[in-house]
Amino acid sequence: MGLTHKSTGRHLKESTGTPQRKSEDEIIIALAGNPNVGKSTLFNELTGMHQHTGNWSGKTVEYAEGVCRHRGREMRIIDLPGTYSLTPHSAEEAVADEFISSAVPDCVAVVCDATCLERNLILVLQTMRTARAVVVCVNLMDEAKKKGIHIDTELLSDMLGVPVIGISARSRDGISEVLELFAEAKKLKPSSFEFDGRKYTDIAEEVCRECVTREKPKKELRDRRIDKILTGKVTGFPIMFLMLSIIFWITIEGANYPSELLSGFFFYIEEQLLRFMSYIGSPEWLTGLLVLGIWRTLAWVVAVMLPPMAIFFPLFTLLEDLGYLPRVAFNLDRCFKRCDACGKQALTMCMGFGCNAAGVVGCRIIDSKRERLIAMLTNVFVPCNGRFPTIIALISIFFVTVSGVSGSLLSALILSAVIIFGILLTFFASKLLSLTLLRGTPSSFTLELPPYRAPQVGKVIIRSVLDRTLYVLGRAAAVAAPAGLIIWLFANVEVGGLTLLRHCTDFLNPLASIMGLDGVILFAFILALPANEIVLPIILMAYSSSGALIEYSGLAELGTLLRANGWNALTALCVIIFMLCHFPCSTTLITIKKESGSLSWAVFAAILPTIIGILLCIAVTAIARILL
pLDDT tens string 478-526: 766 676 677 778 878 888 888 888 899 999 999 999 999 999 999 999 9
pLDDT at position 203: 92
pLDDT > 70 fraction of the chain, expressed in percent and rounded: 85
In a domain, 229, yes or no: no
Q: What is the pTM of this model?
A: 0.69
pLDDT in tens, 139-183: 999 988 888 889 999 999 999 999 999 999 888 899 999 999 999
One-letter identity of residue 289? L
Mean pLDDT of the chain, nearest integer: 82
pLDDT > 90 fraction of the chain, expressed in percent and rounded: 30
One-letter identity of residue 620? V
In a domain, 460, yes or no: yes
- Report which secondary-structure segment, H or E, holds 214: strand 212-214
pLDDT at position 473: 65
HSE value, Cβ hemisphere, 13 Å, CA-based, for 439? 2
**Rounded Cα gap, residues 359 and 381, in angstroms:** 11
**Rounded Cα gap, residues 214 and 220, in angstroms:** 10
Q: Are residues 167 and 269 in the same domain?
A: no
pLDDT at position 469: 65
Helix (H, G, I), strand (E, B) or coil at 173: strand
Nearest CA-CA partner of 358 in 339, 340, 335, 382: 382
Q: Are residues 203 and 245 in the same domain?
A: no
pLDDT at position 152: 95
Would the pLDDT of 615 be above 90?
yes
In a domain, 220, yes or no: no
pLDDT at position 146: 82
pLDDT at position 444: 62
Q: Average pLDDT in the 255-283 region?
A: 85
Q: Are residues 194 and 245 in the same domain?
A: no
Question: Is residue 512 packed enough to be buried (19+ CB in 10 Å), middle (13-18) or exposed (0-12)?
Answer: buried
Output the domain CATH number for residue 36. 3.40.50.300
Q: Average pLDDT in the 114-129 region?
A: 92
pLDDT at position 54: 47
pLDDT at position 6: 38
In a domain, 114, yes or no: yes
pLDDT at position 240: 86
**Rounded Cα gap, residues 165 and 175, in angstroms:** 9
For residue 113, count other CB atoms closer than 10 A to its CB: 23
**Of 89-93, 134-138, 491-495, 556-560, which has the strongest mean pLDDT?**
134-138
Q: Which of 181, 215, 249 is the last residue before a domain boundary?
A: 215
pLDDT at position 621: 96
User: Residue 133 CA to chain centroid, in angstroms?
Assistant: 35
Q: Are residues 483 and 614 in the same domain?
A: yes
- 445 phi and psi angles, rounded to 5 deg: -155, 160
> How many structural domains comprise the chain?
2
- 485 phi and psi angles, rounded to 5 deg: -65, -45
Q: Are residues 65 and 154 in the same domain?
A: yes
Torsion angle defined by CA atoms of residues 473, 475, 480 and 486, in that order, rounded to the nearest 10 degrees: -170
Would the pLDDT of 12 be above 70?
no
**Rounded Cα gap, residues 425 and 422, in angstroms:** 5
Nearest CA-CA partner of 425 in 535, 533, 621, 577: 577
In a domain, 372, yes or no: yes
pLDDT in tens, 294-337: 787 777 777 766 777 778 778 877 887 788 877 887 888 888 88
pLDDT in tens, 555-612: 777 888 889 899 999 999 999 999 999 999 888 898 899 888 899 999 999 999 999 9
Q: Are residues 528 and 615 in the same domain?
A: yes
Q: Which residue has the higher pLDDT, 310 or 37?
A: 37
pLDDT at position 133: 92
pLDDT at position 7: 38
Q: Average pLDDT in the 96-111 region?
A: 88
**Rounded Cα gap, residues 257 and 528, in angstroms:** 26
pLDDT in tens, 68-82: 888 778 888 998 888
- State how far the alpha carbon of 523 is from the alpha carbons of 83, 497, 503, 516, 534, in Å: 46, 19, 10, 14, 12
Q: Which residue has the higher pLDDT, 12 or 430?
A: 430
In a domain, 221, yes or no: no
In a domain, 446, yes or no: no
HSE value, Cβ hemisphere, 13 Å, CA-based, for 572? 19
**Rounded Cα gap, residues 169 and 137, in angstroms:** 10
Q: Average pLDDT in the 55-64 region?
A: 56
Would the pLDDT of 348 be above 90?
no
Q: Are residues 160 and 245 in the same domain?
A: no
pLDDT at position 65: 84
Q: Are residues 192 and 242 in the same domain?
A: no
Domain assignment of residue 70, given as a range: 5-215
Q: Are residues 198 and 249 in the same domain?
A: no
In a domain, 450, yes or no: no
Q: Are residues 246 and 122 in the same domain?
A: no
**Rounded Cα gap, residues 34 and 19, in angstroms:** 21
pLDDT at position 216: 61
Q: Are residues 302 and 177 in the same domain?
A: no
Question: Is residue 435 packed enough to be buried (19+ CB in 10 Å), middle (13-18) or exposed (0-12)?
Answer: exposed
Q: Are residues 288 and 435 in the same domain?
A: yes
Would the pLDDT of 403 be above 60?
yes
Q: Which of 186, 215, 244 is the last residue before a domain boundary?
A: 215
DSSP one-letter string for 297-331: HHHHHHHHHHHHHHHHHHHHHHHHHHT-HHHHHHH
What is the pLDDT confidence band of residue 138, given thresholds at 50, 70 and 90?
very high
